[in-house]
């Protein structure tokens, strides 16, 4: 943090160099539709009378319309989870795996190199150890093998005496590879959450995949949650106690994969976060404690901690080289080794951030030009000397920046390898599936996908995606894509402790359960300080005419402050645990001059 005198000096320079936004905040935000007259939920035990109407509105905005649904949303524990048998193929998978265990067969696990795939692999490794088996395992190298099953990995497993392979977070479109495994005499159990291709399935011994169910209400499990369900089924069938220490791994995978936090996913994440630094595998505990020391956090964990601190470190080694150190950390039983690996991941994350910053700086002129040209899909070519692992985060950043689908690609030896990210309402996987004959390979889901193709086809693929986007409902009102919704408009003095406590009960927040946002009008900003290495974050105080005040923090918002003290702001309610001290403050999402 800097002094107020220095802040004033910088603020003066900022106003000259970067004019503050003077447009009304309603040009970027609107208040969501209120509940119908007379709507209320029985929340007397969770929300005191003073905040009951606001609490009911927050739940209404999340499609919670009955008292029973409200109590389930706020209170459901592990006993409310659906049994593993709801997942298609799980009983066949249990039979194959436990049969291999009983017969002393070699078992291999083939995972993926992202946080979801790594945590899923760790869950199955640790489960098989409980069953008395030390499995072989393999994570593909992003640059060398890419996603999915490789023929070389199958041959290595065969040489190691493996006769049953369990895939996690991969395999649902690996037709040739599964066929080759059968030729080698290896039975394959596929556990995957990605979408099958044209309703065709590989010739595997068993396939566990949520998309094979016709139950539209079934939770959309990620790879780690699917693996957790399989682990519970295996342990139950073997007569062993449930391994609740695996919950934090499933929670991390669920948040890292941005899976919707409904049903079982919400329970997995909520319960898993509670165990993150005390009842998790030793390696995960060590990594959590290392992060705590760096950010001086000492309190309950939330989804933001996993999304912005834990998951990036698990992803980092696989983005710049091999993901093996992350997996070895999660399955380690040696505390000293776990500490070393946790530090290795932290170092890799610093390197990854430096590379990602370089890629973004290079891409931004391309993106700005496409936005100026009115393009509705961002196609960004990336320096092929950079690690392939920068593509996904870059595409995500570009999609958020432009409010449009985006893909980042590199061209190596005439082949374009791409990672795509989408916006709500546009299914990027379905759009790519329509031109799958032009792709060497592709996979993913509605929000994220990857593909490889001949580089000369990139313009044609871009044009196809732009056409699909133009036909989508989103394109009917392009401006709607950049107008976001707040839950409720309130005055500062209405942000009481009871509302804060209720918002905490609504956590965890993420995809499918967005963090509540509030519009505050006619506040006064004061005590402005700039923070961060580049002075791009801001801390200030918001006050109203009753004298009520709150500290507020805006990350990356230093250049967004208006030159006026009277402001309108969009905020969320945060409970921070800095150095063990609980403090409540506002998180700024937008700020503008009062109108």
Domain ranges of the chain: 4-37+487-593, 81-347, 374-482
Instruction: Kindly report the pTM of this predicted structure.
Output: 0.86
* CATH number of this structure's domain 81-347: 3.90.1640.30
By DSSP bridging, strand 206-208 and strand 378-381 are unpaired
User: According to the model, what pLDDT value does residue 44 have?
Assistant: 67
Q: Residue 20 in 3-state DSSP?
A: coil
In this model, does residue 122 exceed pLDDT 90?
yes
pLDDT at 8 over 80: no
pLDDT value at 9 more than 50: no
pLDDT tens figures, 241-254: 888 899 999 999 99
Q: Please, which residues have CB within 8 angstroms of residue 322's CB and are 6 or more apart in sequence? A: 113, 139, 141
CA distance 47 to 501: 8
Tell me phi and psi for residue 470, to 5 degrees. Answer: -65, -35
Q: Is the pLDDT of residue 49 over 70?
A: no
Fold assignment, 4-37+487-593: OB fold (Dihydrolipoamide Acetyltransferase, E2P) (2.40.50)
Mean pLDDT of the chain: 88
> What is the C-alpha separation between 444 and 193, in angstroms, rounded?
9
CA nearest neighbour of 222 among 116, 322, 320: 116
Q: What is the model's pLDDT at position 479?
A: 46
For residues 559 and 536, the answer to whether their CB atoms sit within 8 Å is yes
Q: Which comes out higher in pLDDT, residue 334 or 577? A: 334
Lowest-confidence segment of 88-97, 433-442, 476-485 by average pLDDT: 476-485
Predicted confidence at residue 4, as pLDDT, reads: 29
Per-residue confidence band for 26, with pLDDT thresholds at 50, 70 and 90 = confident
Beta strands in 6-53 (DSSP E): 29-31
Q: How do residues 396-411 score in pLDDT, each as one tens digit? A: 999 988 889 999 999 9
Q: 425-452: per-residue pLDDT in tens?
A: 889 999 999 999 999 988 887 888 999 9
Handedness of CA 27, 28, 29, 30 (dihedral sign): positive
d(CA 259, CA 222) in angstroms, rounded, equals: 6
pLDDT in tens, 300-332: 899 999 999 999 999 999 998 999 999 999 999
Name the CATH architecture for the domain at 374-482: Roll (3.10)
Question: How far is 237 from 144, CA to CA, in rounded Å?
Answer: 38
Asked whether residue 203 carries a pLDDT value surpassing 50, the answer given is yes
Q: How far is CA 256 from CA 72, 166, 305, in A?
A: 24, 22, 11
Say which residue, 21 or 176, is predicted with more confidence. 176
> CB within 8 A of 349, min separation 6: which ones?
312, 313, 316
Q: How far apart are CA 172 and CA 192, in angstroms?
A: 6
Mean pLDDT of 478-504: 82
Return the pLDDT at 148.
82
Distance CA 462, CA 378 (A): 8
Where is average pLDDT lowest: 110-114, 205-209, 282-286, 573-577?
573-577
Instruction: For residues 439 and 558, give the distance between their C-alpha atoms in angstroms, rounded to a whole number.
Output: 43
H-only helix segments in 103-150: 115-130
478, pLDDT greater than 50: no
At 28, the pLDDT band (50, 70, 90 cuts) reads: confident
List, for residues 517-530, the tens digit of each pLDDT value: 999 999 999 999 99
341 has pLDDT over 90: yes
Pairing outcome for strands 378-381 and 187-191: unpaired
Q: How far is CA 267 from the centre of its chain?
A: 16
């Amino acid at each position: 943090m800097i002094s107020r005198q220095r802040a004033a000096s910088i603020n003066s320079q900022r106003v000259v160099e970067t004019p503050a936004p003077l447009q009304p905040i309603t040009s970027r935000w609107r208040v969501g539709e209120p509940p119908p007259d007379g709507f209320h939920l029985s929340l007397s035990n969770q929300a005191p009378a003073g905040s009951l109407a606001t609490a009911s509105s927050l739940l209404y905005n999340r499609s919670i319309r009955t008292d029973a649904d409200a109590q389930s949303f706020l209170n459901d524990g592990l006993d409310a989870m659906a049994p593993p048998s709801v997942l298609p193929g799980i009983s066949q998978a249990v039979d194959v795996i436990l049969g291999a265990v009983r017969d002393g067969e070699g078992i291999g696990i083939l995972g993926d190199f992202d946080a979801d795939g790594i945590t899923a692999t760790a869950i199955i490794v640790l489960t098989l150890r409980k069953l008395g088996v030390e499995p072989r395992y393999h994570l593909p190298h992003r640059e060398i093998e890419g996603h999915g099953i490789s023929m070389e990995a199958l041959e290595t497993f065969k040489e190691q005496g493996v006769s049953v392979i369990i895939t996690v977070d991969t395999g649902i479109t690996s037709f040739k590879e599964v066929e080759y495994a059968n030729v080698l005499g290896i039975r394959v159990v596929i556990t995957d959450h990605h979408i099958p291709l044209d309703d065709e399935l590989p010739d595997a011994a068993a396939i566990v995949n949520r998309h094979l169910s016709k139950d539209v209400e079934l939770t959309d499990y990620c790879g780690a949650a699917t693996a957790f369900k399989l682990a519970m089924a295996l342990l139950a069938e073997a007569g062993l106690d449930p391994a609740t220490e695996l919950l934090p791994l499933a929670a991390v995978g669920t948040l890292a994969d941005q899976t919707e936090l409904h049903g079982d996913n919400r329970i997995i994440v909520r319960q898993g976060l509670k165990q993150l630094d005390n009842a998790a595998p030793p390696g995960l505990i060590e990594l959590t404690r290392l992060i705590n020391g760096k950010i001086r956090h000492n309190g309950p964990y939330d989804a933001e901690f996993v999304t912005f601190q834990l998951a990036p470190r698990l992803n980092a080694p696989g983005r710049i080289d091999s993901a093996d150190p992350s997996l070895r950390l999660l399955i380690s039983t040696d505390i000293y080794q776990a500490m070393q690996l946790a530090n290795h991941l932290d170092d890799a994350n610093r390197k990854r951030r430096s590379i990602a910053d370089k890629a973004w700086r290079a891409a931004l002129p391309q993106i700005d030009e496409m936005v100026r040209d009115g393009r509705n899909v961002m196609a960004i070519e990336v320096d092929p000397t950079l690690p392939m692992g920068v593509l996904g985060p870059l595409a995500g950043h570009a999609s958020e920046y432009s409010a449009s689908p985006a893909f980042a690609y590199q061209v190596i030896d005439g082949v374009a390898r791409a990672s795509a990210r989408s916006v709500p309402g546009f299914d990027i996987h379905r759009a790519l599936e329509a031109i799958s004959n032009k792709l060497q390979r592709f996979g993913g889901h509605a929000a994220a996908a990857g593909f490889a193709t001949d580089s000369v086809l990139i313009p044609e693929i871009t044009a196809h995606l732009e056409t699909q986007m133009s036909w989508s409902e989103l394109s009917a009102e392009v401006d709607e894509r950049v107008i976001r919704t707040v839950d409720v408009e309130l005055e500062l003095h209405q942000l009481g402790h009871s509302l804060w406590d209720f918002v905490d009960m609504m956590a965890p927040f993420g995809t499918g359960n967005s963090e509540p946002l509030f519009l505050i009008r006619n506040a006064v900003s004061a005590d402005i300080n700039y923070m961060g290495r580049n002075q791009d974050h801001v801390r200030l105080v918001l006050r109203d005419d009753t004298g009520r005040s709150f500290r507020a923090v805006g990350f990356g918002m230093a250049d967004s402050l208006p030159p006026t003290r009277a402001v309108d702001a969009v905020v969320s309610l945060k409970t921070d645990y800095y150095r063990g001290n609980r403090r409540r403050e506002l998180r700024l999402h937008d700020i503008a001059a009062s109108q």
